[in-house]
Chain A
Amino acid sequence: MKLTRRQLVAGAAGAALGAAGIYELADKLSESPARTAAVPLGPRPPEQHVLDGVPVVVENGVEVVVPPRHHLVVTATLKPGTDLAKAQPELEHALRELESRYEQTPAGLGITLAWGLPYFDRYVSAAAASHLPFDRRAQKPALLPTRSFPSDPHGTLLEENDVALLIRSDRLEHIEDARKTLLDDLAVFEPRSLRRGFVGGDLPRKLAVAAGVPGADLIPPDSELFLGFTSTQKAGLGPRRIANFETLGLVDLRGGYFRGGTHMHLSHIFEDLEAWYLNFAFQERVDTAFRPGLKVAENAQTVPQGPKQVASAQEVERDFKRAGRFGHSASIQTSSRLLQDTTGEDGTVYVKGTAIPQRADFNTLDNPFAWSADPERDGMVAGAAAGVHFVVFNPSSDDFHRNRLAMDGVLPDGTTMPLQAGARGQGFNSVLRTTHRQNFLVPPRRHRSFPLAEV
């Protein structure tokens, strides 16, 4: 769909007044993704974090998942004086009302409530002490205090929100309905930030250009994300239930209250598009995004990352010794992929090399958020900036931490690749700047509303 300049300007002006701002332009600039078949209404999965009816397309011979187009994350604290016994059924009722209106599909609405350590510590500490899952491998709680990482800049904010609401849909009006229902109509949450964004189609370039982001013209026209590579290939994402606490046996569920739940990490990261596209030639972008020397077709965006392409720690170390750099995907794969065939708790067999994390990240023009209750603390700046709201589900905080450390060259076998923070040899890291981080626990659907309040 093409717009005249007048339509574009009019749309931009109108959008500035609307709740979703620049993101409302998405539906004028680009067609909504085709959803091939309606998913019949049925029982919802016990997990909050999985979506039904997510289509898969084939690009460059690789299966690619087509995620929901629009995303909203709301972080919040509880309103002072909230009576959990009263608030719990009210929130659950509101969520069920939304579920009666929308299927849990990209065409409908996906809502995931994730709870932070401050909630468990402040409101339900006694129950949390006996029910929160425990990571057997790490010998630590599955939900850990948020930490920073070697490549994080000084000043990365480690947040302490009570709750995060991840709301996803192809339709902005569905997201707005959920926002209004859960925030305006219910008097339980005190929003701290609103974070908006989008994924896929040809939106990253079109929206970045429309917003006047430096380097926007350098984004490949049909790129799924700002940095030019496809991240949602099916083989690179964890299968449906693999990130559940119980699936791989990493986590002791104790009483089983959180069976069907998972861990979520949320961060905001600025992406310097001009630094990426003006300093790294295509082959170097491939070297640093995947692994040094990887040969792919010129300007390819979708690069196979299935179990057969997984790099071992030895290969990453060898690449580093040879080329003085390591690839983003390759280094993370040393901790994010199964080292052997593994049978899940429900009998599902996951082959060696299968991805564990389920990514749900999305690009954003927030700077760094669409709205903040504390603009000074959050570093709010007028105007748009390229970035990503990184959302990922892992079986525990430690599992996420291991992946993130590997991204900085600290491999799970103890090997450390000595690169300075932001060094060119770290590729991706040199153009990324993390501003905020927090770990959350995602309860199963049956306990999503003020978990443990009833215990």
Chain B
Amino acid sequence: MAIAAAAAVLVLAADTAAAPAAGKGAVCPAVWKAGWVKLAQKIDAPVYCPTWMPNPLDAKIGGQWTDIYSIGKDRSYLVSFLAHGDLGSGDVHVNFRGYPGRTAIPKCATVAIEGNRVVRGTVNCFADPRGTLKVGSILATVYTVNQDADQWHVLYAWHHAGSLYTVSEHVIPPYTYAQVTRNLKKLMHSLVLIEPAQ
């Protein structure tokens, strides 16, 4: 009963939390900002700091919900926040990616074990576009079939200053596809651009 109640509270909180608009005057929350500024400086490119996250996550890099913080040799990054619902409330998993200096959708390796042989290939990391979302200067494409850390996620991808950026959330209880889509729209509206020089 307690578990069910916890899950219900989580969903309710996610649906009713106020989403700060990322319009004029919106700023990256002070406790989150340092990590995002450091990331921008490290890759020498702008990054997007969210000002809202689905409950219970925050976007403090290095905080309790950080799952992956990875920067590649090509300066591409993956910042992942994950809450395991160990008490039965379900997982909440949000990924942020950036690919400085390129806008093409990256390729992901596929490996399938079929019988006693290994079948290798590549596919687009983000596929099955399903419409777009315009938020301020961002025109994001919604992708529903994604790979690697974004597998089973809904993902929004957009270009800025010659770079590709994405944000995605896992479709897994307690969040259905419809709820994840609502979360991501709210999250997209909350994004604040952080320049490396800041």
Taking beta carbons and an 8 Å cutoff, which residues of A are in contact with B? Answer: 214-218, 274, 277-282, 284, 320, 323-325, 417-419, 423-425
Contact = CB atoms under 8 A, between A and B. Distances in A.
Contact of A323 (B119, B153, B177): B119
Given A278-B144, A279-B152, 14 more contacts: A215-B176, A274-B171, A274-B177, A277-B145, A278-B145, A278-B152, A278-B177, A279-B151, A323-B119, A324-B114, A324-B117, A423-B114, A424-B112, A425-B112
Contacts of B153: 278
Interface in B138-185: 144-145, 151-154, 171, 176-178, 181
Interface string B108-132: 0000101111010001100110100
Given A278-B177, A279-B152, A281-B128, A324 B112 contact: yes
A101 B188 CA distance: 58
A217 B145 contact: no
Please classify the interface of chain B as helix (H, G, I), strand (E, B), loop, or mixed, using the class held by over half of its residues: strand
Contacts of A281: 123-124, 127-128, 145
A215 B152 CA distance: 12
Nearest to A209: B178
A279 B178 CA distance: 16
Complex A-B, nearest 4 residue pairs according to Cβ-Cβ distance, in ascending order: A418-B115, A324-B119, A281-B127, A324-B114
Given A281-B123, A281-B145, A282-B128, A325 B114 contact: yes
A214 B177 CA distance: 7
Interface of B: 112, 114-117, 119, 123-124, 127-128, 130, 144-145, 151-154, 171, 176-178, 181
Contact of A419 (B115, B123, B128, B177): B115
Contacts of A423: 114
Given A278-B152, A281-B123, A217 B114 contact: no
A274 B112 CA distance: 21
24 contacts: A214-B177, A215-B171, A215-B176, A216-B177, A216-B178, A218-B144, A218-B177, A274-B177, A277-B144, A278-B145, A278-B153, A278-B154, A280-B145, A281-B128, A281-B145, A284-B145, A323-B119, A324-B114, A325-B114, A418-B114, A419-B114, A419-B115, A423-B114, A425-B112
Contacts of B127: 281-282
B171 A279 contact: no
B181 A217 contact: yes
Nearest to B145: A281
A215 B177 contact: yes
Nearest to B154: A278
A282 B130 CA distance: 11
Contact of B116 (A278, A418, A425): A418
B178 A217 contact: yes
Contacts of B112: 324-325, 424-425
Contacts of A282: 127-128
Give the residue among B124, B145, B154 with the most A Cβ atoms within 10 A.
B145
A217 B177 contact: yes
Contacts of A320: 114
Contacts of B119: 323-324
Contacts of B117: 324
A78 B116 CA distance: 50
A155 B17 CA distance: 42
A325 B114 CA distance: 8
A274 B153 CA distance: 10
A419 B130 CA distance: 31
Nearest to A424: B112
Contacts of B171: 215, 274, 278
A279 B145 contact: yes
B28 to A, nearest CB: 30
A277 B115 CA distance: 25
Nearest to B116: A418
Contacts of B116: 418
Nearest to A282: B128
Nearest to A277: B144
A216 B145 CA distance: 15
A284 B153 CA distance: 17
Contacts of B123: 281
Contacts of A425: 112, 114
A325 B121 CA distance: 13
A214 B166 CA distance: 24
A278 B145 CA distance: 5
A274 B152 CA distance: 8
A279 B145 CA distance: 5
Contacts of A218: 130, 144, 177
A323 B120 CA distance: 9
Give the residue among B112, B123, B144 with the most A Cβ atoms within 10 A.
B144
